[in-house]
Structure formats: structure tokens, C-alpha cells
Amino acid sequence: MEQICAALEPQFPCRETTIKTLGELIGNCEEAYPAAIYLFGHTGTGKSALTKAFLQQCRKQQKVRVAQLNAIECYTTKILLENVLDALAPQGAEETAKRADNMLEFVNELRRWHDQENNSSYLIAVDNAERLRDMDANVLPVLLRLQQLTSLNLCVLLVSQLPFEKYYNKTGLSEIITLHMAQYNKAETLRILSADFVHVQRQLLAGLSGNEKGLRKCEQAMTPEFYSNYLSLFLSVFYKACRDVPELKLTARKCFSIYIEPVLAGTIEATDVSRLWRHIAGPLRAALTQIYMRFDKPADELEQQSNESDQSVRKLAQSLELPYYGKYLLIASFLASHNSAKQDKRLFVKHHGKQKKRMQTVNAKAKTTDKMSTTLGPKSFSIDRLLAIFYAILEEKVGLTCNLLSQISTLVHLKLLSFVSGEQNIMDGSARLQCTVGLEFVLHIGKVVGFNVRQYLCDFM
């Protein structure tokens, strides 16, 4: 057990307690394992990596058979069972076909190995264990009691992001040991990220090979203190938004090249933290808006792009090449989704008569900020209403051809519209549609065709 812990601790800093607990539970294959262990925590806390490394160490150092699988991949029970059997099969049993159509055969197969070779231990790790709840009703209960059923020294590790209280089914489950992997705090995150120093330094030096002056400067400036200074600046911006270590690591590497640029160029001294901060603050904030997006772009472009927040929407709207009537149809569907049908007469009919101003409507309008339909989400509409609004907002009168109707279905295909109900009976008019694009997008499209969308939105009147 000590050897395993010693091998893992440098690999996983700040996880000493978890490694120790795991080591105490399943570190020694001579001792009896617990029946099942449930390991849970947020994304990026190292659950899967830790279990994987732990199991590998167990396999290397002790006489343990190990199976690691991902429950997402096992979309039927049979796949799950045969994966486990494949991984756990003893040497002699490789050539015999390992088949398990159901749980009974699976358990029998495992029992048979017990008869063949004694004193062998087994560890099964199931990643994304929340999927086990969706499989056959007997999978999770059997896995939790597999040790008892097979009478092997066997432990099932379940890894997931949910707490175990989301797993209880109607017929009850047996006992399980739960281990929580808490998210790293700021100091721990800093420690983990600064372990990246060697890698970053090597990459920097490789990038500067050939540039003698830059190389010298870099060697001078690139010290662990310098890097950890950078990281604390980095975390002061990022830690509030994201504690996911892989994501932070990725972004920190990306932004470091911007940070060190003026130092290499010689404009700012490596010790002048406040000037460096002023230099990096902008790009860091820009990168903060791009987090979790994984755009593989140089940082300067990134910065430029994020200056205008709605740039991406505009780009998307421009890149989407819709035909003229298609654009009008999309606008019409947006109007149909975000205006109530009661207002249609006033908005789109030429001679709708005089509207009386009543106290009720004034009062209703006064407190509508939270009732704006653009924030509440789209309502559904029928195809008839869509076409009526389309003809109302389109100045020219086009014939209702099949091209026009097929454009509606194309918009549905492109997921700009979606069916809410009645997908089976589109033709009899009971199908309800919904517009799925946002206001920005429609405004851009309106600009392209020269149509003021705001003018026709009740929210903006």
C-alpha cells in the first residue's frame, strides 16, 4: 500500500488524503476489499486519472486484475459485461470465448475463475457511473454486490460527478463507501499549475532557438518565482469564473506567451510586476470570455475578437447564406414567436381601427421588464400564422409556391425553427413551430434585407 501511495503522490499533488484512503481500502490485495467504492467530485478534480493510475499501480505491484470501463460506451448490458470479462480474464482463459449474455452468466463465469485460481484479486472501475442508472434495472444492484455474489476478492469503483443519493432505486441498494474529491482551493490550484513550469520553460526555449539574445533574456527572466507571480495574477482574474484545473492550465499556457513578450522584447523588466499587470490585464480579461470555448487561435486575434461582444453572432448571421424569402420567413417566425397573437391585428393589418388606451394596459405595460417575451423565450405558432405575418411584412406579393413552403422545412432542418408539437400532421395545420434564433441574429438579418425588426416587436413599443 505504501509503495502505491508513494508512486502516486508526486503524480497527484494535493490529493494525499484521497490516495491514502484509497490505499487503506484497496491498497493491499492480500486483505479483503470493500464491496464497492463510490468516488465523486466535480469535473477536473482528477477522479478518473487518479483511479486509472491507482489501478495501474495495483496491477504492476500486486497480483490484481484490473478492468476499467466507461459506462457511456456500454450502451447495452452485454457490452459492459463482456468488457469486464475481457479485462479480468486469467491468462489461461484467453482463448476460450468469453460470452456473457446476462448477469447470471457473467457471475457464473467469474465464479468459475475463482475455482480455477485462488488468491487473485480484482478491481473494476466504472467511469461515468451515472449511466448505470439508465441501464437494465439489475446492473447497479448486482455491481454493488458483485463481491458477495462471486465470492471473489473484488471491488467495484464507481466514478461520477453526482452524489450517491441520486442513485437509490425503488428496490434499495446495498452499502457503498463514498469518497468525495473536493475541488482544489486557490493555493492548491496555484501549486498544481506551477508544476507546469518545466514544461512551459522548455516550450519557450524551443520556440526561441536561434534567437541568441532572446534566449539569454529568457533564461534570465524565466524563474519559478516569475512564473508563480504570473500564475497568481492569472488566478486573480480566472479563479472566480473557473476552478477546472485542465481548463485553467490550458488558458494559463496560452496567456503566458503574451505575458512574457515585453520581457523578451526588453520593454519591461521582469521584476516590474505592476507594469506587467497593466500589460496582461486586458488580454486576460479577453481570454476570460473565451473560456471553455477551446478556440485554437492566437491570442492577439482572440483579444480583438472579444472587444466586440456580439461579433460572433454577427459573423454567424453573415456566414449563413439564406435566400431572400428565407430571411423574411425567419424574421416572420421570430415575430410570430415573440409577439402575442392578440397583437397581430394591430401590428400587421393596415386598417385596424383605433386602439383605445385603457388604464389596464398602461398598468400592464408599466411592469413588463421581466415579462419581455425576448427574455421569456419563444412561444409557439402555427404555419398559417407564420405565412400571414410573412405576407404582411413582405411588401411585394409573391405566390405561395412549393419553393416557399420547402424553405420552411429547410429552416426546420437547419434548426433555425423547431417543431413543438404535431410533427406528424403538418399538413392539416395543427403543427406548432418555434423560432430558435435570438434577437441579435434576427436584427442582423433584418439589417441585411433592410427591414427594421424592432419596429414590429411589441416589447420595444
Partner 1 sequence: SRLAEGTPRRSIQLSNIVEQRIFKDDDVISTPKRSRAKISHSGEGDEDYTPKKSTQKTPTRSRRASTTTRPAKDSAPLTPSQKLKKIRAGELSPTIEQRLRPVDKSCKSQLQLAREQLHVSIIPKSLPCREKEFDNIYSFLEGKIQDECGGCMYVSGVPGTGKTATVTGVIRTLQHQVAQEKLTQFDFVEINGMRLTEPRQAYVQIYKQLTGKTLSWEHAHTLLEKRFTTPAPRRLTTVLLVDELDILCNRRQDVVYNLLDWPTKSAARLVVITIANTMDLPERLLMGKVTSRLGLTRLTFQPYTHKQLQEIVTARLGGSDAFKGEAVQLVARKVAAVSGDARRALDICRRATEIADMTEQSVATATKCVSILHVQQALAEMIASAKVQAIKNCSRLEQIFLQAVAAEVTRTGVEETTFMGVYTQVETIAAFMGAVVPAPGRALRLCSKLGAERLIICEHSRTDIFQKILLNVSADDIHYALRVEGNN
Contact residues for partner 1, defined by CB under 8 A: 76-77, 101-103, 133-138, 163-173
Taking the C-alpha atoms of residue 33 and residue 35, their distance in angstroms, rounded to an integer, is 6
Please identify, using beta-carbon distances, which residue of 103 and 152 lies nearer to partner 1. 103
Cell of 144: 454493488
Q: 143 vs 445, which CB is nearer to partner 1?
A: 143
Shortest approach of partner 1 to residue 35 CB, angstroms? 17
Q: What is the layout of strands, in order, in the sheet containing 177-181?
A: 64-70, 121-127, 153-160, 36-41, 177-181
Q: Which is nearer to partner 1, 167 or 238 (CB)?
A: 167
Cα separation, 336 vs 378, in Å, equals 9
Residue closer to partner 1 (CB basis): 170 or 356: 170
Q: How far is the CB of 118 from partner 1 (least distance, A)?
A: 21
Cell (9 digits) for 270: 521582469
Q: Which is nearer to partner 1, 40 or 456 (CB)?
A: 40
Nearer Cβ to partner 1, position 138 or 424? 138
For 107, the grid coordinates are: 457471475
- Minimum gap (Å) between residue 175 Cβ and partner 1: 11
* CB 138, min distance to partner 1, A: 5
Query: With respect to partner 1, which residue has the nearer C-beta, 163 or 429?
Result: 163
- Please classify residue 349 by burial: count the beta carbons closer than 10 Å to its beta carbon, then call 0-12 exposed, 13-18 middle and 19+ buried: exposed
Please report which helix (H) or strand (E) contains residue 68, including its range: strand 64-70
* CB of residue 140 to partner 1, shortest distance in Å: 11
Q: Which residue has the cell 468488457?
A: 83
DSSP string, 83-122: HHHHHH--GGGSSS----SSHHHHHHHHHHHHHHS-S-EE
Q: Which C-beta is closer to partner 1: that of 170 or that of 294? A: 170
* φ/ψ of residue 141, rounded to 5: -60, -40
Question: 42 or 202, CB closer to partner 1?
Answer: 42
**Nearest distance from C-beta of residue 165 to partner 1, angstroms:** 4
HSE of 442, CA atoms in CB hemisphere, 13 A: 25
d(CA 455, CA 461): 7
**Can you tell me which residue has the cell 456473457?**
100
Among 163, 161, 164, residue whose Cα is nearest residue 144? 164
**How many other C-beta atoms can be found within 10 angstroms of the C-beta atom of residue 214?**
18
Smallest distance, partner 1 to C-beta of residue 174, A: 11
Q: Do residues 160 and 40 touch, judged by C-beta distance below 8 A?
A: yes
Are 123 and 26 within 8 A, CB to CB? Answer: yes
3-state class of 77 per DSSP? helix
- Angle made by CA atoms 263, 266, 269, in degrees to the nearest 5: 60
Cα–Cα distance between 16 and 5 in angstroms, integer?
Answer: 8
CB closer to partner 1 out of 134 and 310: 134
Name residue 393's amino acid.
I
* Residue with Cβ nearer partner 1 (168 or 324): 168
| Nearest alpha-carbon partner for 176 in 186, 165, 189 | 165
